[in-house]
Amino acid sequence: MLNIADTLHTWCREQRPFALATVTAVTGSAPLPVGTSLAVDQAGHVVGSISGGCVEAAVHDLCRQVLDDQSGVRRERFGYSDDDAFAIGLTCRRRTRSPRPERHPR
């Protein structure tokens, strides 16, 4: 998350609402480690990455939902079977646990 800290600090200073998703667990191989984060503001601007592409769109959509309905913390699990991963060309064959979109500021 340190790679996006400066942007998040700016967004907080500007009182710009944003949702933050953070990877809390990974099984199997993964391109990015636990603690990796992605943030989306209300205008749809994105900073960071949680998967290097595998589930970015789904996490972006979850962040937008959190911002739209002000639902607070959520836990989600993303993963693919070996067959699904092969079918869509994924090489990482991993499960990402609990990207946690949270709305900020609260």
Give the residue among 28, 21, 86, 87 at the shortest CA–CA distance from 55: 21
pLDDT(98) > 50: no
Please report, rounded to a whole number, the percentage of residues in the chain having pLDDT higher than 70: 73
Tens-digit pLDDT profile for residues 24-73 = 888 777 778 888 899 999 999 999 998 877 688 888 888 999 899 877 77
Quick check: helix, strand or coil at residue 38?
strand
User: Which stretches does DSSP call E strand in 32-90?
Assistant: 37-41, 46-48, 77-79
pLDDT score of 19: 92
Structural domain total, the chain = 1
pLDDT of the residue at 85: 57
pLDDT tens per residue, range 50-62: 887 768 888 888 8
Range of the domain at 79: 2-104
Tell me: the pLDDT tens digits for 10-27? 999 999 999 999 988 887
Torsion of CA 97, 61, 10, 34, to 10 degrees: 10
Q: How many CB atoms lie under 10 A from the CB of residue 74?
A: 16
Q: How many residues does this entry show for the chain?
A: 106
